[in-house]
Chain A
Amino acid sequence: MRYAMVIDTLKCVGCSDCVVACQTENDVPIGFCRDWITETVNGSYPNLDLELKSERCNHCDNAPCVRCCPTGASHITDGGIVLVTADECIGCGACIESCPYDARYQHPDGYVDKCTFCHHRLEKGQLPACVSVCPTKCMYFGDLDNPQSEVSQLLKNRKHKTLAPEAGTNPHVFYLI
């Protein structure tokens, strides 16, 4: 089992529904977020390209946040999901610094928080909140170890990229381009 998220930038409209759905699903305090939208514009008027995409923790195989965590609170669990055990987190913020995606934030309760791939929903056979709500259905989630899964098929058939590949983190959020 290797969970991955695939996001089709050709369909994403940058509406931020994924952000607010994550907030209400995961009790993310107002003023913080586990996912966010970026906009990139290239070219000059009227020869322009616009890319909108939803970003979050990349659940990296080679996760710098896990490597640098002094207490082991940051760890990788089944399916490759990178998690933080709140109880063990001392809030030192080393992981926040180390993440090339700026995916982590200090929760007002003292620990470091970030995207969990909504593991508590996966438990129940549900898709992550952001994926389930996205109005353009541009987000896909599934198991990369299964070659028949929708995510595997999309990555097989469509041009795609990951963010900051040069960081060598082996991220597991993919963008169709």
Chain B
Amino acid sequence: MTTSRRKFIKISALGLGAVAASTTAINMFGSNAYIDELVKQNVSKKFKRTATYCEVCFWKCAAWTYTNEDGEIKKIIGNENDPHCYGRLCPRGTGGVGMYTDEDRLKTPLIRTIVNGEDTFREASWDEALDLIASKFKGIKETYGAESVALIKHGAPGSHLEHLFKAFGSDTIAEPAYAQCRGPRETGFNLTFGTWVGSPEPTDIRDTKCLVLIGSHIGENMHNSQVQEMSDAIDNGATIITVDPRLSTAASKSQFWLAIKPATDIALMLSWMNVLIEEGIYDKEYINKYATGFEELKNHVSQFTPEWAYGITTIKPEVIRETARAMANAAPSVIIHPGRHVVWYGDDSQRARAMAILNALLGSWGRRGGFYFKEAAKVPNFPAPAYPEPKWGWKEIGEKYPLAQMGITTEVMKCALPDKDNKYPVKALMIAGTNITKSIPNKKLLEDAMDALDFMVVIDTMPMDVTGYADVVLPECTYLERYDDIRSATNREPSIAVRIPAVEPKYDSKPAWWMAKQIGERLGLGDYFNYDDFKEVIEWQLKEMGTSLEEMEKIGVKNYPRKSGSMYINEDETYTFPTDNGKIHLYSQELKNLGFDPLPNYTKHPEPPQGFYRLNYGRAPMHTFSRTVNNPNLNDLKKENDLWVNPKVARIIGLKTGQEVWLKNQDDIISSFSIKVRVTERVRWDSVYMVHGFGHENKKLSRANGKGINDTELISKVFTDPIMGGTGMRGNFVAILTENPHKNTEI
């Protein structure tokens, strides 16, 4: 499409797709001094492009960083051959330039010190900061063992530090991306299909005939290739069914918007199963061939009629039937999307199970337009000694949650709280690339835990709120200024991408790989970091993979042919699912054995008391959580969040759009800052909604400080998933305060 569209512009092919702008372009617009000048400026400016992949979110789109003759980064453009972005970055990726230019960036290492009785930071040299970290880590290792030094991480810096920690002997590692985000769905789908969903999700949206989004707001979350494919699906006339109490962007593009009562998704899904089975419109052949536990499922859902679900969900029975039939009509080219940020009410693995079971009934797993079988290229490990075996780690810390498959951040934090019975004491903490006071709920727990620590290090590019709790802050350079691991993710075809620095690190910032190596060497772990520059690591890996850094510098992305066979089930053969018996588990014996419901059930969750509204939160397309709010380009697009309020509620309380309000939650926690009201029909009367990631407390974030409310600080009630430890965060309620509750405390 893109190429044919280009042809429609009847301009000579001069420079079409060219990298450096051609100096010979002829001004087709006649003699116009201004244009001549502009064209000259643009044309004479030779751009250099450097391969990278984006770090503004976890989608990791491959891109080209364009620098001009003065070595300034001017723009970032998607790599055409990349299956994560198809040549088009999202607004955050395009605005990634601002991650580099932001003048509020961390500039030098900082060490906590006390001046006149007050804690403050002083600038420090790298040597001093790194020596201090190494000596503290060593001390804690001697007294408590290396396991007592924990890492909470996210993104590319996390993997370098994970290597350091494992070499040091600590597997006390966790990331919010699991228990605060996608963990429940990985467990739910794994229990059913024997495999994680993974990232990017193997949803075959471009070829789907029916896309079902349940509380997932593609288009407001800019998971790039999915947004693009959803647009293709709209062009192809696919049916979109969105289940959301709020008119999300996706809901507005759907043939069916099911404005469900919050916290009742499982009831709706059970009734969909009921219709599919009662009406005999499920994929019988697929179920007979591939699934076990159908009879149990059938018996289980026979009671969950659409009429039953109506009373719970407020979705009319005929709409439930009509949407179930629409899915069945499209099957197997139908996707019940697993969602991504799926921590709701603590029964989230079961919710994910319900999604997985629906997909199974519709025969969509392993089918075109449903879920494809993903494949990734194998990147060999750079030679290093084997890691020592820690005595305990994230697994033991999370042992209460039998199906946790990664570290649970909140459990790791709890281990820092003083408690003499604690078998797993965490004494020091390193936080890399995640602003935990905005990504992990229950701020009180976090603050108490951080308070109790002997030592805490934060690595970030920006003075995020969490840096304020650190003893040492290390300034990381941005992704545009460093090498990182080769990106190899699961896709339709295996695909790799490289990140190459376009410019030197600004200020005194450094890449995380360098910090890991420096600390490692100080801890006597030099053998694990057998290189001077991380470039050598990827050079070696690329060579092993049959390519080279020189080649990757030119192409940025390399796609390999599949090795694992077809993307979809070959209809003439019998596919073996990666479960214990090779079949899909509709009924989960594993859950039964662990004492959990083997089939999902609807549980009623608390509802807001009088005068309170359910606090719902989500994403805006131009921001990634809290990390982009201060980015000058992206801040320009959205500076603060607002509080979506239904007009009925606005009338009762007497609120107007633009009015400043504060929020108080059910535990009397009051928001640090105010938020502006936005009266809109797009939300229900029983809930309010805001975009996550605002309300920064650190004054050093000149644009973001004090703007809007941090939803996470109002999430003090956490509904923990007993199966895998996910922290459900959607059961918090807020009252709207029109008077400034901080007035008396302000002087």
Contact = CB atoms under 8 A, between A and B. Distances in A.
B28 A15 contact: no
A45 B34 contact: no
B555 interface: no
Contacts of B30: 77-78
19 contacts: A10-B253, A13-B253, A15-B91, A20-B634, A21-B91, A24-B94, A24-B97, A30-B636, A41-B680, A45-B683, A45-B685, A50-B249, A78-B29, A84-B34, A120-B38, A120-B42, A125-B16, A136-B228, A146-B10
Interface stretch (A60-68, A98-106, A126-134, A164-172): A126-134
B9 A124 contact: no
Interface string A88-132: 100000000000000000000000000000011011111100001
A45 B91 CA distance: 29
B633 A24 contact: yes
Given A124-B25, A149-B8, A135 B228 contact: yes
Contact of B636 (A31, A81, A140): A31
Interface string A20-39: 11011100001101000000
A134 B633 contact: no
A45 B259 contact: yes
A13 to B, nearest CB: 4
B224 interface: yes
Given A24-B75, A25-B75, A30-B633, A123 B253 contact: no
Given A85-B33, A123-B14, A135-B228, A13 B646 contact: no
Contact of A15 (B27, B75, B90, B633): B90
Nearest to A15: B621
A124 B15 contact: yes
Interface string B1-33: 110111011111111101001100111111011
Contact of A123 (B27, B33, B89): B27
Contacts of A41: 247, 680-682
Interface residues of B, number: 78
Contact of A20 (B14, B28, B37, B91): B91
Contact of B94 (A20, A49, A143, A146): A20
B78 interface: yes
Given A48-B682, A123-B28, A17 B75 contact: no
B384 interface: no
Q: A23, A31, A134: which has the most chain B beta carbons within 10 Å?
A: A23
Contacts of A20: 91, 94-95, 622, 633-634, 636-637
Q: A1, A33, A132: which has the most chain B beta carbons within 10 Å?
A: A132
Interface of A: 1, 10-11, 13-17, 19-21, 23-25, 30-31, 33, 41, 43-46, 48-52, 77-79, 81, 83-88, 119-120, 122-127, 132-138, 140-143, 146, 148-151
B49 to A, nearest CB: 14
Contacts of A132: 88
Contact of A49 (B8, B222, B252): B252
B235 interface: yes
Interface string B528-544: 00000000000000000
B253 A14 contact: no
Given A13-B219, A123-B39, A126-B16, A77 B29 contact: yes
Interface string B645-663: 0110000000000000000
A125 B15 contact: yes
B57 to A, nearest CB: 13
Given A41-B680, A122-B9, A124-B21, A17 B89 contact: yes
Given A78-B28, A123-B39, A125-B14, A11 B34 contact: no
A30 B634 CA distance: 10
B29 A16 contact: no
Contacts of B33: 85, 87
Interface string B64-84: 000000000011111000000
A88 B34 contact: yes
A50 B5 contact: no
Contacts of A135: 88-90, 222, 224, 227-228, 231
A37 to B, nearest CB: 9
A146 B5 CA distance: 13
A151 B257 CA distance: 31
B632 interface: yes
A41 B680 CA distance: 8
Contacts of B485: none
A1 B95 CA distance: 33
Given A136-B227, A137-B232, A148-B8, 16 more contacts: A17-B90, A17-B621, A24-B94, A24-B633, A25-B75, A43-B681, A48-B247, A48-B252, A52-B252, A84-B34, A86-B34, A87-B37, A125-B9, A126-B16, A141-B9, A142-B5
Nearest to A31: B636
Q: A1, A30, A146: which has the most chain B beta carbons within 10 Å?
A: A30
Nearest to B647: A44
List of 9 A-B pairs having minimum Cβ-Cβ separation, nearest first: A50-B252, A13-B219, A15-B621, A46-B259, A85-B34, A136-B231, A125-B16, A17-B91, A124-B15
Contacts of B95: 20, 23-24
Contacts of B75: 21, 24-25
Contacts of B39: 120, 123
A138 B249 CA distance: 14
B220 interface: yes
Contacts of B21: 124
Contact of A133 (B89, B252, B680): B89
Contacts of B166: none
B234 interface: yes
Nearest to B4: A150
Nearest to A75: B32
B692 interface: no
Contacts of A140: 5
Contact of A48 (B1, B13, B681): B681
A1 B684 CA distance: 49
B10 to A, nearest CB: 6
B35 interface: yes
B91 A11 contact: no
A160 B222 CA distance: 27
A122 B682 contact: no
B358 to A, nearest CB: 23
Contacts of A134: 88
A123 B22 CA distance: 10
Contact of B35 (A13, A48, A83, A124): A83
Nearest to B633: A20
A19 B34 CA distance: 23
Nearest to B95: A20
Contacts of B684: 45
A150 B5 contact: yes
Contact of A11 (B89, B231, B637): B231
A151 B224 contact: no
Contacts of B224: 135
B227 A19 contact: no
B95 to A, nearest CB: 4
